[in-house]
Chain A
Amino acid sequence: MVSKRLSWFVYIPLTLYAVVTLIPFLWALSTSFKPLSEIVSEGMNFLPRQFTFQNYSSIFLQEPLFLRWLFNSVLIAVIVTICNLLLNSMAGYALARLQFRGKRFWFFLILAVLAVPGQVTLLPTFLILKNLGWLNSYQGMIVPCIINATFIFMMRQFFLNFPKELEEAAELDGLNRFETFWYIVLPLAKPALAAQAIFVFMGSWNNFSLPLVILFSPEMFTLPLGLNAFKGQYNIYWNYIMVASMVFTLPVLIIYLFFNRYFIQSAMFTGTKG
């Protein structure tokens, strides 16, 4: 039992830290509902004196491409996530369950790749995409990201602990390896897939450096780049930045609230692999 004195020692710092965590978000949310005149005046009121949706409606006039950026981000993140789920699971399953020559080598290679920092590959990736003619294109944003060594590794660990009996039964029923994988294994891997989906989606949705390097015409921008574009050379449109930030964060927030359990699980997955 925790004594009363101790519980105060715990609740007060926890509450303070919760406030520290929430304030930036609440401040941004509040700013997004204020007219520009109120934003630039010195008042530090969290409740807008003059509550307005105008920033939300005029962002589309100010920046006609805003919807397009939203579309680009969704399209890329969705395709990347679906591909990752399928391909990482297939590779992880093969590494865990199939017996084929060279398996140990490929597994070792995947582990080795995990140790190399991303900056080493960013420049050559740019040059390779340039050679393929894929700069400033959807495929340039998608194809390099459709697999992820970390999650191949995670799926392998998951399938290693997977009950063998089900697959054996499926084989007796005359299913081949692909059918077993598709109808038996994948549906039972849902928790691992959910964890993976969340992290891959977030990674793609929030990615800043790859689009910064390979996308250069504004209509191809994803939201993080578009957001940065509101921070112009001379004028910073804080009202639009805050609106765009809120619109940008909302989808991830909704996914987070629905799948909170899996978020925590997936953090633990990555946490215990070391």
Chain B
Amino acid sequence: MWLKRSRRNLEKNLTEDLTGYLFMFPSLLVLGTFVVLPILYAAFLSFQKVQLLGSIEYQFVGFNNFIRLIKDDRVWIALKNTAEYVAIVVPSQTILALLLAVSLNSDIKGKYWWRLIYFLPTITSSAVLTLIFMWIYNTDGLLNYFLALLHLPTYNWLDDPAVALKSIMIMNIWSTAPFFMVIYLAALQNIPQSLYEAAKIDGANNWQQFIYITLPLLKPVTFFVMTMGIIGTFQLFDQSYIFSGGSGGPNNATLTVVLLIYQYVFKDLQMGYAAALAFLLALVIISLTLIQRRLFGGEIG
């Protein structure tokens, strides 16, 4: 009796196992081949000198690739550019997204249409946006035309090393803020109206309600928006590649870490060194996320 039941259970467990793995199999195969294997492969490569002459040859070099990173001027330039980019773009797009969301969440007409318009840049390809902006940034393009009209200084947005990275920043703040706006909007709609009514009875004005109710309750979402922002901006590649035709110019002004990785792989064929640089970037992103989690306190799962 007892034996029979345990046997039935065993059979049932086996079928469940089999079904489970049948459902998971395609995903595990692809995940294994194109995500897990590449990560391990990259770890292996970062300790090798790789020769790509017909077939691939590896030579173990220990920590040499990582030591070389420290002495490489272009790595420092790329890190500096990328850090500057993150430091300006992430706070700007977060604040802009919050402002837009709060405005849209107030009692206004045509919410649907505003949202429809604002979301447009999010669905447009980075290649298209970059090219359209390059067209607008032209020395005698639309932007300079408007600036001159308003008697503001004009710039050589594309070719002046002091300005080129800022041109990409403006474009990215413009194109990413709407996505985060939608996320803020969702969070705002989850704040119970009763909190604001209670505050009103206590005599709080709109501004005080925003500071003491809205902002604290949005903290988890802000953490999410900033984290996603940091991860996204640190990986800047498409825009600076198209902007500079892959060179990171003018004068290394738009050279980002990912663009540098790309150059080391496909221009200089230094696979091992590029893998080490990729790991450095991963390390920076992961530690920043952890630091930020600390700063935002323990309330976020």
A116-166 with Cβ < 8 A to chain B: 116-128, 143-144, 146-147, 149, 152
Closest chain-A Cβ to B249's Cβ sits at a distance in Å of 14
Q: Is the CB of B114 within 8 A of A125?
A: no
State A44–B136 Cα separation when bound (angstroms): 11
Residue tally, chain A, CB below 8 Å to B: 92
Complex interface bits, A3-19 against B, C-beta within 8 A gives 1, otherwise 0: 00011001101100110
State A70–B125 Cα separation when bound (angstroms): 14
State A99–B13 Cα separation when bound (angstroms): 8
Q: Does A213 contact B (CB under 8 A)?
A: yes
Q: Does B187 contact A (CB under 8 A)?
A: yes
Closest chain-B Cβ to A131's Cβ sits at a distance in Å of 9
* A/B pair count, beta carbons within 8 Å: 266
Is the interface on chain B under 10, 10 to 19, 20 to 34, or 35 or more residues?
35 or more
A227-274 with Cβ < 8 A to chain B: 227-228, 231, 233, 238, 241-242, 245, 248-249, 252-253, 256-257, 260, 263-264, 267-268, 270-272, 274
With a 10 A CB-CB cut-off, give which of B35, B123, B182, B221 has the most chain A CB atoms: B35
With a 10 A CB-CB cut-off, give which of B19, B206, B279 has the most chain A CB atoms: B19
The SS class assigned to the B binding surface is: helix
B87 proximity list for chain A (CB < 8 A): none
A24 proximity list for chain B (CB < 8 A): 129, 132-133, 136
A-B pairs, top 4 by smallest CB distance, nearest first, are A100-B20, A271-B183, A124-B38, A206-B125
Binding site for A on B (CB under 8 A): 13, 16-24, 26-28, 30-31, 33-39, 41-42, 45, 56, 99-100, 103-104, 106-108, 114-129, 131-136, 140, 142, 145, 174, 178-179, 182-183, 186-187, 206, 220-221, 223-224, 227, 231, 234-235, 237-238, 241-242, 245, 257-258, 261-262, 265-266, 271, 274-275, 278-279, 281-282, 285-286, 300-301
Q: A18-B114, A22-B120, A253-B120 are in contact. List 17 more A-B contacts (CB 8 A).
A: A2-B106, A10-B108, A14-B104, A14-B114, A21-B120, A27-B136, A31-B135, A100-B20, A117-B282, A122-B278, A123-B261, A124-B39, A228-B127, A228-B242, A256-B120, A264-B119, A274-B220
Binding site for B on A (CB under 8 A): 1-2, 6-7, 10-11, 13-14, 17-18, 20-25, 27-28, 31, 42, 44, 87-88, 90-91, 93-95, 98-101, 103, 106, 109-110, 113, 115-128, 143-144, 146-147, 149, 152, 177-178, 181, 202, 205-206, 208-209, 212-213, 223-224, 227-228, 231, 233, 238, 241-242, 245, 248-249, 252-253, 256-257, 260, 263-264, 267-268, 270-272, 274
